[in-house]
Every structure is written in structure tokens, then in C-alpha cells.
Amino acid sequence: METETVDYQPSKNNPSRPTFLTVLCILTFLASAYYFFTSLVGIFITNEFDDSQWESISEQLAESMDGADENTSRIMQSVMDSLATTLAKTVENATSLGLIAMLVALLSAFGAYEMFQMRRRGFNIYVLAKFIGIIFPLIIIGVNIITAIGYGIALIGGLIMVFLYNVNRKHLR
């Protein structure tokens, strides 16, 4: 009796998923789950912005900046004003921002799932999620030095992931 081994050869209709794409999808699933649950928690535990605490911090910073030159003091005051505005608007709009973050997490996970299933539309969904995750919070909070830095870093991370997924787009159908 002879045994015959049949190797599986993926067809053009059912291509095999590259390992790198699998790793990217798993990382996206984990990150999406983390952001979804932290956003959910953030909606329910966000407190009101306390101006008196902020004023105390500002006064302490002003005291520590007494020996600094005028330009440094002016820049630090501008940064502190931007930070105060950003914190106040973030707390004020915590529910909206949390819901947007949850939507972005779900869209990112769904896009990754579609790419995990080797569907090209998953890439477009993922890119849409990254776009929403940057643009809508900036519309709500506004653009200043603090949001530019924070969302600039998020943009760079998102672009890196989009680039890495784009490298694998040729495998998707």
C-alpha cells in the first residue's frame, strides 16, 4: 500500500495570508480592544475640570519660571494656556470623544478582520478609522500646540500602520 502526500497549494481565489499581515491584524485587534474599553471607562469616570487646581499648578509654574527670560516665560504661558483649554474641552466633551474613540476602535478592528479574511475593503475601512480618529477630536477640541503634538504623534503612528498594511495590500482580494 502506497501513501501519497498532497500538498496544499492556495488558489488565486483563496490566497494564503502572509505572516506579517497576520501579526499586524492581531496587533490591531489588541490595540482596538484596549482603546475600546479605555474609552468606555473614560466616558463614565470623567470628572469636571477643576479651575482652582489648575490655577494652583499655573501659579507654581509661574514661581518656578521667575528666573527665566521673557521669551521662555511667554512660551511656557502659551503652552499652559493651551493645556488648560485642551483639558477643559476634553472633560467637557468626554462623552463625544469617548464615543468617537469607541467607533474608531470598532472600525479599526473590523478593517483588520476584513484584511485577516484577505478582503481588500478592510484596508479602506482601516484608513477611514484612522482619519476619523484624528480629524473629529481635533474638530471638537480645537487645534493648539498641545493637540498638535498629541494628535501629530497619533497621526505618525497611524500612518506607519497604514503603510505597513499597504505593503500587504497586494495579497488582498
Q: Mean of the pLDDT values across residues 2-29?
A: 76
134 contact partners, CB below 8 Å, separation of at least 6: 151, 154, 155, 158
Using the structure block, give the residue that is written with the C-alpha cell 496544499. 8
Q: pLDDT band for 50, please (50, 70, 90 cuts).
A: low
Q: What is the pLDDT of residue 4?
A: 61
Q: What is the pLDDT of residue 12?
A: 58
pLDDT of 61 > 80? The answer is no
| Contacts of the segment 77-85: beta carbons below 8 A, 24+ positions apart | 78/145, 79/145, 79/146, 82/144, 82/145, 82/146, 82/147, 83/146, 84/54, 84/58, 85/142, 85/144
pTM of the model: 0.82
Q: What is the pLDDT of residue 121?
A: 98
Q: pLDDT band for 169, please (50, 70, 90 cuts).
A: very high
pLDDT tens for 93-133 read 999 999 999 999 999 999 999 999 999 999 999 999 999 99
Weakest mean pLDDT among 15-24, 78-87, 152-161 = 78-87
Using the structure block, give the residue that is written with the C-alpha cell 490591531. 28
43: nearest Cα among 102, 129, 110, 108: 102
